[in-house]
Amino acid sequence: MSQFETVDEVVRFDSVDEVVTALGEQGYIADTRLATTVFLVTRLEKPLLIEGPAGVGKTELAKALAAVSGRRLLRLQCYEGQDETKALYEWDYGKQLLYTQILREKIGQVVADAPDLHEAVERIGAQESVFFSERFLAPRPLLEAIRAPEPVVLLIDEVDRADEALEAVLLETLAEYQVSVPEVGTFTTKQPPYVILTSNNTRDLSAALKRRCLHLFLDYPSADRELEIVRSKNTGLPEALAAQLVDIVRGLRELELRKSPSISETIDWARTLAVLGVEELNATILSDTASVVVKYDKDVRKAIGALPRLVDPNATIPEHGHGHGHGHGHDGGHSHDEPAHRAVDDTEDEPSEVDGRAIRAAKDQAGRFGHTYGSNPLGVGLGEKAAKAPKVPAERGSRSFGAGLGRKRAL
Ligand SMILES: Nc1ncnc2c1ncn2[C@@H]1O[C@H](COP(=O)(O)OP(=O)(O)O)[C@@H](O)[C@H]1O
Ligand SMILES: [Mg+2]
C-alpha cells in the first residue's frame, strides 16, 4: 500500500490504473469499467450502488475497497422486515438494567422521601437523561460509520431485501451524513465514508436512491476476466482446462436455469476437478460433479442435458424429453424476458414454494440484464439515465410482489 500517496493516512488514487493494481493486490480482479467507478467513489463522495446477479463480486468489491484504502469495513446486511433501529442505533437495554441494579441504593435515595408514587415517578423521570446518554447508546452500522473518528467503508448489502421504509431512512442518512438521536443530539460525520450499496435486483429501488448514487451494473465477467479470477484463486486446475471450464460455465449461464452458476461456483468447480486429478474435461466427469455449480434438481438435469454439447459443440445429442429446446445451440435471445413461460415453468415442479427466497432465486438469471445495460459502455451513471433500466414486465412484477411479499412500489 505504501506505493500510493497517503494524505492524512487516507489512501488517494491518482489514476484508474492504480485502482486496478491495488485491487489486484488484494485478490480482486477488476476491469477498467469497474475500476473507473471505484476511482470515482474515492473522489466524488457519492455512494455507489452496484446491481447485478448473485455471486458476481459485489460484496467482495466493498471488502477489497476497504482493504486497499486501509479503512475499516462496516456492514449493514439488509433483510425483509428489518427496522431502522438495526441500521441506526438502539439503546443498550442490558447495560441500562445492569446500571440500575448496581445503583439501586442510590436510586432508592432519590425517591426515598417522595410523598407519593406520582412524585417518585417525576423524580426518576428527571434523571432519565442519565440513562439515555451516549454511554448507553448502541450504534448500528449507519451511526457507527458517521460517528467513526477515522474514515470507513460502509457496505449496505442487499438493499433490495430491505423494505421501502428503511430505504427512505438510508436515503435521508446518505443525503446528509448525519444521524440525529433526540435524547443525545445530532452526529455529523467528520470524514464521509465510502458507501457501497448492493442489490440483487429482486425489486426496483426508488428513483431517489438511484439518483443519489453512482451506479454500476456488475454482470457475469468476460471469459478472460473470469479465467483471471479462477487463476488468481490457485485452484490447482491446469490453465487449459480452466479456460475450457470457464467457457462451459458461460454456456450453462445461457440455459434457463433457476439459479445460474456464479463466479464462486466456477472456482468451486475448478477446485473440485483439480482435487479429482482430472486431466481432460469430458461430459461424464462434468456431469458427475455438476452439483457443485447447479444446486436445484431441475437445473442439474438441464445442465447434464446440455453438457455434451458444451464440451464438444459438434457432438450430436439425442433429444432429451424434458428440455425446452436447449439442445439447439446457444440462442442468446431465448433466455431473455419470457415471463409467461417462466412463470409456468417455475411452478410446475415446486407448486408449494412461494416464499421470498424462491422468488429471489428465480430472478438470478443469467442474461436478465444483458441487453439493456450492455449499451452503456462505461455502465457508470450519475442519475436517472442509469436508473431507467431494467424494465420488468408487468406479469413478472405482479407475480413477485403479489406472492405474499406485501411490498408496494411507491414511485
Ligand atoms: N473480481 C473478482 N475478483 C476476485 N474474486 C471474485 C471477483 N468477483 C467475484 N469473486 C469471487 O466470487 C465470490 C462471490 O462474490 P460476492 O462478492 O460474494 O458476490 P455477490 O455479488 O453476490 O456479493 C467472492 O467470494 C470471490 O471469491
Ligand atoms: Mg453479496
**295-327: b or e for each residue (b if 16 or more CB lie within 10 Å)?**
ebebbbebbbbbbbbbbeeeeebeeeeebeebe
228 lines ligand 1 (CB under 6 A): no
- The answer to whether residues 29 and 232 touch, using CB atoms and an 8 Å cutoff, is yes
With the most atoms of ligand 1 within 8 angstroms of its CB, the residue from 153, 197, 264, 266 to mutate is 264
Which of 60, 230, 260 has the most ligand 1 atoms within 8 A of CB, as the residue to mutate?
Answer: 60
Q: What percent of the chain has pLDDT over 70?
A: 74
Residue 270 CB–ligand 1 contact under 6 Å? no
Q: Is residue 272 a contact partner of residue 237, using CB atoms and an 8 Å limit?
A: no
Mean pLDDT of 361-385: 42
Q: Average pLDDT of 40-68?
A: 95
Report the DSSP pairing between strands 380-381 and 214-217. Answer: antiparallel
Task: Return the residue whose CA atom lies nearest to atom 4 of ligand 1.
Answer: 28
Segment 185-202 shows an average pLDDT of 94
pLDDT band at 295 (very low <50, low <70, confident <90, very high): very high
Atom of ligand 1 nearest to the CA of 218: 21
Report pLDDT for 371.
Answer: 40
Q: Which uninterrupted H or E stretch holds 42?
A: helix 32-44
338: its cell numbers: 419470457
Q: Whose CA is nearest to atom 8 of ligand 1?
A: 57
pLDDT tens for residues 210-240? Answer: 999 999 999 999 999 999 999 999 999 999 9
Ligand 2 centroid to residue 58 C-alpha, Å: 6
Cα angle value 162/163/167 (rounded, 5°): 80
Overall average pLDDT of the 137-153 stretch: 95
Domains of the chain with CATH codes: 5-82+141-217 (3.40.50.300), 89-137 (no CATH), 223-334 (no CATH)
The residue whose CB lies within 8 Å of the most ligand 1 atoms, and thus the one to mutate among 263, 266, 360, 363, is: 263
How far does residue 295's CA lie from ligand 2's centre (Å)?
18
How confident is the model over 262-266, as a mean pLDDT?
96
109 has pLDDT over 50:
yes
Residue 7: pLDDT above 50? Answer: no
Q: Is 263 touching ligand 1 by the criterion CB < 6 Å?
A: yes
**What number is the average pLDDT over the span 137-157?**
95
Q: Is 230 in the pocket of ligand 1 (CB under 6 A)?
A: no
Distance (Å, whole) CA 81 – CA 78:
9
Tens digits of residue pLDDT in 300-309: 999 999 999 9
Average pLDDT over residues 344-355: 41
Helices vs. strands in the chain: H and E counts, helices first: 20, 12
Which ligand is located closest to the Cα atom of residue 364? 1
Residue 241 has pLDDT above 70, yes or no: yes
The tens digit of pLDDT for each residue in 391-401 reads 444 444 333 33
Q: How does residue 332 score in pLDDT terms, banded at 50, 70 and 90?
A: very low
Atom of ligand 1 nearest to the CA of 53: 21
Three-state DSSP at 136 gives helix
- pLDDT (mean) for 95-114: 92
Ligand 1 near 34 CB (within 6 A): no
| Cα 328 to ligand 2 centroid, rounded to whole Å | 33
Could you tell me the distance, in angstroms and rounded to a whole number, from the CA of residue 159 to the centre of ligand 2?
10
Query: Does the pLDDT of residue 165 top 80, yes or no?
Result: yes
Predicted pLDDT at 347? 38
pLDDT of residue 376: 41
Given a cut of 60, whether residue 319 has pLDDT beyond it is no
| Cα 223 to ligand 1 centroid, rounded to whole Å | 15
The pLDDT, as a whole number, for residue 366 is 42
Query: What helix, strand, coil percent values describe the chain, rounded to 5?
Result: 50, 10, 40
- Please answer whether residues 62 and 47 qualify as being in contact, where contact means their C-beta atoms are separated by less than 8 angstroms: no
Q: What's the per-residue H, E or C state across the chain?
A: CCCCEEECCEEECCCHHHHHHHHHHCCCCCCHHHHHHHHHHHHHCCCEEEECCCCCCHHHHHHHHHHHHCCEEEEEECCCCCCHHHCCEEECHHHHHHHHHHCHHHHHHHHHCCCCHHHHHHHHHHCHHHHCCHHHEEECHHHHHHHCCCCEEEEEECHHHCCHHHHHHHHHHHHHCEEEECCCEEEECCCCCEEEEEECCCCCCCHHHHHHCEEEECCCCCHHHHHHHHHHCCCCCCHHHHHHHHHHHHHHHCCCCCCCCCHHHHHHHHHHHHHCCCCCCCHHHHHHCHHHCCCCHHHHHHHHHHHHHHHCCCCCCCCCCCCCCCCCCCCHHHHCCCHHHHHHHHHHHCCCCCCHHHHHHHHCCCCCCHHHHHCCCCCEECCHHHHHCCCCCHHHHHHHHHCCCCCCCCC
Range with the poorest average pLDDT among 94-98, 160-164, 282-286, 327-331: 327-331
Q: Which residue has the CA at smallest separation from atom 27 of ligand 1?
A: 264
The minimum-distance atom of ligand 1 relative to the CA of 23 is 3
Question: How many CB atoms within 10 Å of residue 54?
Answer: 20
Is the shortest distance between the CB of 193 and ligand 1 below 6 Å?
no
56 lines ligand 1 (CB under 6 A): yes
Question: Does the beta carbon of 195 lie inside 6 Å of ligand 1?
Answer: no
Q: Which residues of 25-50 are buried (b: 16+ CB within 10 A; e: fewer)?
A: eeebbbeebbbbbbbbbbeeebbbbb
Question: Does 326 contact ligand 1 (Cβ within 6 A)?
Answer: no
Is pLDDT at 146 greater than 60 in this prediction?
A: yes
Above 50 in pLDDT, residue 368? Answer: no
What is the whole-number distance in angstroms between the Cα of residue 114 and the centre of ligand 2?
A: 57
Q: How confident is the model at residue 78 (pLDDT cuts 50, 70, 90)?
A: very high
Residue 321 has pLDDT above 90, yes or no: no
